[in-house]
Structure 1
Amino acid sequence: MKKIVFIALTVISCACSNIKQEQGVEIIPLGLAFEQPEEISVKDVGSHIDYVPLETTDESLIGDRAYIRILKDKLLVGSREQPVKMFDRKTGKFIRCVGKIGQGADEYLLQDGFPVFWTDDVSGIIYVQTEGQRILRFDADGSPLESIHLPEGLPRLQGLSVVGNGDDLYFYQKTLFKKNEDKIFSYNIPTGKLHTEIANQEDTIPFELTKTPIILGGYGNNPASPHCLILYLKNDKVVFDYAKEPCLWAFDDQIYLKENFNDTLYCVSDQSLEPRYVFDLGSRHWSYEERYHPEGNEDKIAFNYVLEGDKVLFFVFQTNYYEINYKGLGKDETYWGIYDKENGQVKVMAKGKIGDPENGLFVKSFQTATAEGELAGLLDIAEVKEWIEENPSKKDNQVRQLLSDLPDESNPVAVIVK
């Protein structure tokens, strides 16, 4: 298991570009690209794209707020009030439900009506979170394995973000109210040992709440979180604190960390938490001390998540972070961005559709990435058909024809770029 030393949060949060350059860390000039937006195409993201319509049957029907994972030759989709569904990666044919909703040995409870699951490319395991501190395990074919009962010492599982890498699970806990809280834990499955890896040793930044926080199911740019906590600040500003954030990920047998208000992407190494990339945000950098001060920070950048592809980093970020557009109110703006790891090119575009000129189609966004660097998302078939009608070019394209022939009530289409 990879062992990490204790590091103070002052080191984690500073993101000082001069120091990082001296350490040989790559700089991503996002602030400059933000001022010169460009359209992003599929060819910017990868060299090949697959559209896989997911079979629609009574048993395989996918509900609202669907999100996708990939595990080897399988596609797995979670959605509201539904168990995790497994499909063939190439054909989209429905294979089975992974476990069942319930309280039995191989059954799991939904969180806010939503299944919380993740996959591990190294071990080939599907993990599904259920009640208490129990995690169910299934093999790559969806057959149940022995479940995990996490030991005492780990914070409440429902509020942690989790990623797997071989024999280890890594947990991230965001600090809001307390100081000296542990931030990252790891759990070794064969030995059953829990390790506190990185501790937060800096005072928590105070902020003043004007109302009692409430829980809202889902919402926002994070597709995998079952709910968020709404914190009301001064001047009617609000914070959406997600129960789970995709801030940890595995790529090429390594674990990485990227926090919302931090400009630095870290590699979780054997000896330390090592800076790997730094987003140079220019005047849009949001200092650690100012993160709960809405006034004067309207144009600052806060990240929603980063996905790592084989060719690029794909990231989602916001401005006007505290003017969240909830129920038609607010002024927040969401953007897609990519960083080409080979040539250093950065592109930014307002939230919309990533073009696929070759097929005359589009990608709405990406929800997940594999450890091999494949990016994937889902497209609503009704939206695809509307797009085809409004953009009649490429009429003879086989993919377009296949999607246009699907019934409006069909399951989503999986989109995979590699």
Structure 2
Amino acid sequence: MKQINAILALALLMVLAGCGGNKQSNNDLITVDVSKNYPKKELILQDFMDVEYIALETTDEFLTQGLVLDAGKEYLLVKNRNNDGDIFIFDRKTGKGVRKINRQGQGGEEYARINDLILDESNDEIFVESPGNKILVYDLYGSFKRVLNLDREVSSVFNYDKHNLICYDMSDYHSKGKDRTRSYHVIISKQDGSVTREIFIPFKTINTPIAVDGDQFVASYSYQIRLSHDEWTLIETSSDTLYHYAPDGTLSPFIARTPSTHTMVPEVFLYMGICTDRYYFMQTVKNVFNFEKGNGFYTDELVYDKEEKALFQVAVYNGDYAEKRPVAMTASPVNREIENVTTLDAFRLVEIYEKGQLKDGQLKEIASRLDKDDNPVIMLIKQKK
């Protein structure tokens, strides 16, 4: 442990001395013991978050499984769960279908598959992350504009500002136990994909959630970047610290986990969820996988309550249901306004409504008008105003 601390201290000094734009500042750290069993707490989502429901219009042209990959003030970007290449644009306020785009193919202006979609309403552009280390850029009508050819394999791609994207470099993700070769959190240009800024999080040895059984291995993937409460949190499973990242390049220690991920067998990794004025939601992932049964990477949901200054194992329930329906507070983040998106299948909502299991409100009113074959209803979770 002393050796690891010495390495981290040396890395911090290197950052301070040689990486302009990655300044360090010291704040009060929250410490999370990932080996500890915390008392349980139950919360109702609507008590501390705003919830918006959008029924997606159902027509012959707009039939979708409703996987929302990005949402803006005007539009929702939606795809199907299968690899058919369809991109649906829905009106954010009304749920009406605006346009369907499909540029899937093998040409230079086409995507082989949709790994992710990023909506940039400030520039009226859609970014499609595709295999082959490239991001294709289209306008909102599906016309090709340019391609970003990257020198790295990226994930967790988000709209950072008018000129840049922020993402996580996956190039060494499977190199568990080896020394790092680069900075893995990077800001890249929306124009050509070049690296605008590298963000150096101190650690030496790569440690990712990968389970191995002989010549078999399976990896767990989660978001290494979280935008919540208008703050960027950078997660690195190889580090024992989660950091806030500011526009001026300041990297501030936010949460420290213990024991060190490099000393645990099996490891328990810590990820960040939604942050509010009072609560910091987190998730632990245990690096265990049963290859015979095909399951593992067991999770626990945690919350730090700033008023009580204490950690809890937490369950959050949707208050629009008459029975307890859990809500994931560590699911994929969206943008500066929307913290989380959930797809609610129409046939299930119809069934729940007919059983009288919805409370009076917007969701019940929408469910009363649904047919079981309709497109899904989209639930947006936002900070309370």
What range is the shorter-chain TM-score in?
A: 0.7 to 0.9
After TM superposition, the structure 1 = structure 2 runs for residues 396-407 of structure 1, keeping only pairs within 5 Å, are: 396-397=360-361, 399-407=363-371
Asked if 1:246 is matched to 2:223, the reply is yes
**1:392 shift after superposition:** 3.4
Check if 1:80 corresponds to 2:76.
no
Contact 1:86 1:94 in 2 (8 A): yes
The reply on whether 1:171 has 2:162 as its aligned counterpart is no
Give 1:36's aligned amino acid: P
Match of 2:373 in 1: 409
TM-score (ref. length: structure 2)? 0.73
Secondary structure of residue in 1 paired with 2:348: helix
| 1:218-297 equivalent positions in 2, closer than 5 A | 231-233=211-213, 239-242=218-221, 245-250=222-227, 255-260=232-237, 262-269=239-246, 274-279=251-256, 285-290=258-263, 293-294=265-266
In 2, distance between residues paired with 1:341 and 1:370? 24
Match of 1:303 among 264, 267, 270: 270
Query: C-alpha displacement at 1:411, in angstroms?
Result: 2.2
Preserved contact between residue 274 and residue 339 of structure 2 (Cα < 8 Å): no
| 1:123 Cα offset (Å) | 5.2
2:119 is matched with 119
Closer, same or farther in 2 for the Cα pair 1:27/1:180, shift >3 Å?
closer
Counterpart of 1:56 (choices 55, 58, 73) is: 58
Q: How much is the aligned-residue C-alpha RMSD, in angstroms?
A: 4.2
**Is 1:90 matched up with 2:93?**
yes
Q: What is the TM-score of this pair, normalised by structure 1?
A: 0.68
Establish whether residue 357 from structure 1 lines up as the match of residue 330 from structure 2.
Answer: no
In structure 1, how many angstroms separate the alpha carbons of the residues matched to 2:11 and 2:282? 19
Deviation at 1:62, TM superposition (A): 2.2
Deviation, 1:344, is 5.8
Offset at 1:378? 1.5
What is aligned with 2:27? 24
Q: Equivalents in 2 of 1:250, 1:121: separation in Å?
A: 17
Q: Is the 8 Å Cα contact of residues 379 and 413 (structure 1) preserved in structure 2?
A: yes
Out of 117-126 and 399-408, give the one that drifted further. Answer: 117-126
CA displacement at 1:96 relative to structure 2: 1.3
Q: Contact (CA 8 Å) 2:271, 2:284: kept in 1 or not?
A: yes
Measured at CA, do residues 124 and 42 of structure 1 come closer, stay the same or move farther in structure 2, by a change above 3 Å? farther
Task: State the identity as a percent.
Answer: 23
How far has the Cα of 1:367 moved from its partner? Answer: 3.1
| Deviation at residue 257 of structure 1 after TM alignment | 0.8
Identify if the C-alpha distance between structure 1 residues 200 and 42 changes in structure 2 by more than 3 Å, giving closer, same or farther: closer
In the alignment, the residues of structure 2 paired with residue 115 and residue 51 of structure 1 have an alpha-carbon distance, to the nearest angstrom, of 25
Cα separation, partners in 2 of 1:115 and 1:344, compared to 1, 3 Å: same
Please give the alpha-carbon distance, in whole angstroms, between the structure 2 residues aligned to 1:327 and 1:399: 41
Q: In the aligned structure 2, how far is the partner of 1:59 from the partner of 1:246?
A: 32
Match of 1:18 in 2: none
- Give the match's secondary structure for 1:369: coil
Q: Is the 8 A contact 2:29 2:255 kept in 1?
A: yes
Q: 1:121, 1:81 → 2: CA distance?
A: 25
User: Which of the numbers 33, 37, 40 marks the counterpart of 1:37?
Assistant: 40
Structure-2 separation of matches of 1:9 and 1:55: 55
For residue 128 of structure 1, report the CA deviation from its aligned partner. 0.4
Q: Which amino acid aligns with 2:137?
A: R
Q: Is the 8 A contact 2:211 2:219 kept in 1?
A: yes
1:287 Cα deviation after fit: 1.6
Do the aligned partners of residues 115 and 59 (structure 1) sit closer, same or farther apart at CA in structure 2, a change above 3 Å counting?
farther
Cα distance in 1 for partners of 2:372, 2:78 equals: 19
**Map of 2:17 onto structure 1:** none
The whole-number CA distance in structure 1 between the counterparts of 2:124 and 2:103 is: 20
Equivalents in 2 of 1:327, 1:67: separation in Å? 33
Shift of 1:40: 2.8
1:117 is matched by which residue type in structure 2? L
Matches within 5 A, 1:90-169: 90-104=93-107, 106-110=109-113, 114-120=114-120, 125-139=125-139, 141-144=140-143, 146-150=145-149, 154-155=151-152, 157=153, 159-166=154-161, 167-169=163-165
Residue 63 of structure 1: how far off its partner (Å)? 3.7
Which residue matches 2:288?
322
What is the rounded CA distance, in whole Å, between the counterparts of 1:189 and 1:333 in structure 2? 36
Residue number in structure 2 paired with 1:194 = 195
Note closer, same or farther for the CA distance 1:373–1:149 as it changes in structure 2 (3 Å cut).
closer
Distance in structure 1 (CA, Å) of the matches to 2:11 and 2:349: 41
| 1:225-248 CA-partner distances (Å, limit 9, x unpaired) | xxxx975246x9954243xx4212
Is the 1:102–1:108 contact (alpha carbons within 8 Å) kept by the matching residues of 2?
yes
Separation in 2 of the partners of 1:121 and 1:346? 38
Give the C-alpha shift of residue 308 in structure 1.
Answer: 4.9
Cα contact 2:352–2:358 (8 A) shared by 1? no
State the AA in 1 paired with 2:340.
L
8 Å contact from structure 1 (residues 179, 201) kept in 2: no
